[in-house]
Structure 1
Amino acid sequence: MRRTILGATLLMVAFASPVLAQDAAPRQITVTGTGEVAAAPDMATIRLGVTHQAEVAQAAMDATSGAVSRVLERLDALGLEPRDVQTANLILNPLWSGQYSSGEAAPEITGFVASNTIAVRVRALDTLGEVLQAVLEDGANTFDGLQFSMQEPKPLEDEARRKAVEDAMEKAALLAEAAGVTLGPVQSISDHGGGGPVMMEMASARMGSGVPVAAGEVTVSASVSMVFGIAGE
């Protein structure tokens, strides 16, 4: 008889355990907060280069290399540091004739195109227009883009994270109020990082003499996830 009662008791405990575990699950509010900070940029990165075509590969490469050498010399004369100038791409491709024709004649190489692209960081934005004008005068004939950024982005990133945490806390407080519960302490915080500086607004400003460029503003964003307990019963 005692064995029967003991077996029934264990069976009841086994069935009740999942229910007790479910009831013991923590009561929490989970939210995601975002933050953004805008500031005027203090650095620009430009991608420019030289492309030349010739019947002989060496001639195409020589013409391109000569122009790039002049561009690099001008950048040095303008005070740009070697660490801010880097070769980004160097290409030599054949030019084909009859490559897509439906005839029986085999495609032939009729020439070559050589391209050299360099990435240049300009830390003195007031000279950006002058730099662009100078490299065009010295032979640069391709331009692949211009990006504004910050030399020291960390202070902006830190401020964006503070705003992301404030946003998350405001959301959690609102949710707790709407649900009629009391918001408890922070249980965990997860930093999801954020985007680097991106263009936000354009300002009608001229960056020194030469090619007119508008710097505008850049924004830095951050995102966090926060888990809060629910106080009381």
Structure 2
Amino acid sequence: MRAYNSLILPLFMAFAAPSAAQTPPAQITITGIGEIAAAPDMATVTLGVTTTAKTARAAMADNASQLIEVLTTLKSAGVAPRDLQTSGLSLQPNWTNNPNGDANSIDGYTAVNQLSVRVRDLAALGATLDAAIGEGANTLNGIEFGMSAPAPLLDSARKAAVFDARHRAEILAIAAGVTLGPVLLISEASGYDPQPKFVRAAMASVPVEGGEISVSASVTITWQLLAPN
């Protein structure tokens, strides 16, 4: 009988131990948001030249000649070659509807050449645009402000997100009568996505306003919760 009891006890302990080990510690998971605003130090402008002519060759030749003048002007204004990039090039026929019921016919061609231009001297942005338009740029499709070195701004946003998450976690822990323990997990969902904040000043001849941009970061942190002593 003693041998039987001595066998039962270890078996019971072997089955009981895993259930106790599977009990997870109390945890809290909070997502913090950090946002940092700063004045931009560069702008990316999309501009270009659109020309029309009776033949495709003439439309492209006129476009090329006009665009060369625009490029020369931009480089003279201080835009580096590495900051000039062709972003779109197209040649399309212009169709005319014939009122007598005949098939539509081609009545000339339209050539479009677009440039993506990074302007690093914001004080000269308005004057640069004015000069490009004066030399033949006849399409302007938008301006996007940004930072030439966004990493420090994004790092500040990350720190702010961590502080925000911890602040909120501490408030909830105190209200629940517990304290924060060690950090169990940190994950980040962030990226450099500058958003305009507000307008500050106009620049030079073409009215262009830089304002401020904001960079945000999102950090999710999980802490272990400790019961009060």
TM-score (norm 2): 0.88
Which residue number corresponds to residue 191 of structure 1? 188
Which residue number corresponds to residue 164 of structure 1? 161
Q: Measure the CA separation in 2 of the matches of 1:37 and 1:109.
A: 54
Secondary structure of the residue aligned to 1:163 is helix
Amino acid at match of 1:45: T
Residues 110-166 of structure 1, C-alpha deviations (whole Å, 9 max, x = no match): 221110000111111110010010011001111110011111111111110000000
Q: Measure the CA separation in 1 of the matches of 2:176 and 2:50.
A: 65
- Of stretches 122-131 and 105-114 in structure 1, the one that deviates more from structure 2 is 105-114
> Which of 202, 205, 218 matches 1:206?
202
Which residue number corresponds to residue 228 of structure 1? 223
- Gaps in structure 2 of 5+ consecutive residues: none
Percent identity, aligned pairs only, is 48
Count of paired positions: 226
Amino acid at match of 2:203: M
Alpha-carbon spacing, 1:22–1:133, altered in 2? closer, same or farther (3 Å): same
Two-structure CA RMSD over aligned residues (Å): 2.7
Q: Measure the CA separation in 2 of the matches of 1:62 and 1:221.
A: 46
> Which of 110, 113, 119 matches 2:110?
113
Which residue number corresponds to residue 124 of structure 1? 121
Q: How does 1:1-233 map to 2 (within 5 A)?
A: 20=20, 22-23=22-23, 25-98=24-97, 105-203=102-200, 205-208=201-204, 210-232=205-227
**1:188 Cα offset (Å):** 1.7
Q: Measure the CA separation in 2 of the matches of 1:162 and 1:74.
A: 43
- Gaps in structure 1 of 5+ consecutive residues: none
TM-score (norm 1): 0.86
Moved over 4 A (4+): 9-14, 16-19
